[in-house]
Amino acid sequence: MLSVRPYAPVDATAWDALVARSRNGNLLHRRGYMDYHAGRFEDASLLVEKDGELVAVFPANRDGEQVSSHGGLTYAGLISSHALRAEAALEAFERIGAHYHEQGARRLLYKAVPHVFHAYPAEEDLYALHRLGARLVRRDLSSVIALREPPGFTEERRRAIGKARKAGLAVRTGGDLAAFHALLVQVLARHDAAPVHTLAELRLLQGRFPEQIVLHEVADDNELLAAALVYDLGPAVHTQYLAASESGRQRHALSLLLGELIERTYAHKRHFSFGISTEQAGQVLNAGLVAQKERFGARAAVHDFYEWVLA
């Protein structure tokens, strides 16, 4: 028999163990990651149990009559183990919907885990949402490289990487988060944007997950030319932040860095994710940004958002 119950801090160890053995969960769904910004969200997460065994978790927060899975994460949804099969997943969604409706929620915004981040197929959630009348309300376009295929760098990128190597530039792992964050703030300010994370938050998260959140750099003496903060998500890696100084751009430092990460450092992974290139809830494609990613061989994977009216 399936049942759902609200998450409590005492469940953190069991939650993380489920995420670790799940088909579609990763670093983002660990409580130590989710809870770094717990003060900004009213937690509404659930645990799904079958005959007393934890078979899935549901990261969620509530804002008035809306529940989101999850407002502070790029994607979340039902994070499931191999023990949760299709019929049981449908029942789980029915119970999740009934629970939130009884608590006064009237709609659920569901941010599905893109399939490229699955360790094993886990799209029972999409079928359940379809069956229960949820509708697709947003679709962002992300760019991803299939690392087990031959690299698809353009000749232009190959030449840029070659020039950087001939100039004596090299990639190193680790570095000063403060210098990186300062460069990132400077780069994003040119586009009237700012990092999602403060320096203090990045230090906190990297301190909690030093093996999964890794800084890679290209520098010339003490001058930081380019850097990538990479999230290791198990079968995939994701460039959470990329930045290059003006000198770094002129010297092709970021091309060198990405070439090294794609062809060497993370070549054993399945996918290399650059993140989305869409704006205004997916309605505008940043053509210049997506073209830069495509020059490294990346192609499209979508991030889907569903709205489920609870009744």
Mean pLDDT of 275-301: 95
Q: Please check whether residue 230 is in contact with residue 237, taking contact to mean a CB–CB distance below 8 angstroms.
A: yes
Residue 151 has pLDDT above 80, yes or no: no
The mean pLDDT of the chain is: 95
Q: Do domains 2-139+304-309 and 149-269 have the same CATH topology?
A: yes
Where are the chain's structural domains?
A: 2-139+304-309, 149-269
- Per-residue pLDDT of 30-50, as tens digits, reads 999 999 887 889 999 999 999
- What is the reported pLDDT for 259? 96
Residue 190 has pLDDT above 90, yes or no: no
Q: What percent of the chain has pLDDT over 70?
A: 100
Q: Confirm or reject CATH 3.40.50.150 for domain 2-139+304-309, answering yes or no.
A: no
Residue 311 has pLDDT above 90, yes or no: no
Q: Which of 38, 129, 115 is nearest to 75 (CA)?
A: 115
User: 200: pLDDT confidence band, cut at 50, 70 and 90?
Assistant: very high
Q: What percent of the chain has pLDDT over 90?
A: 93
Residue 81 has pLDDT above 90, yes or no: yes
Mean pLDDT of 171-183: 93
CATH code that applies to domain 149-269:
3.40.630.30
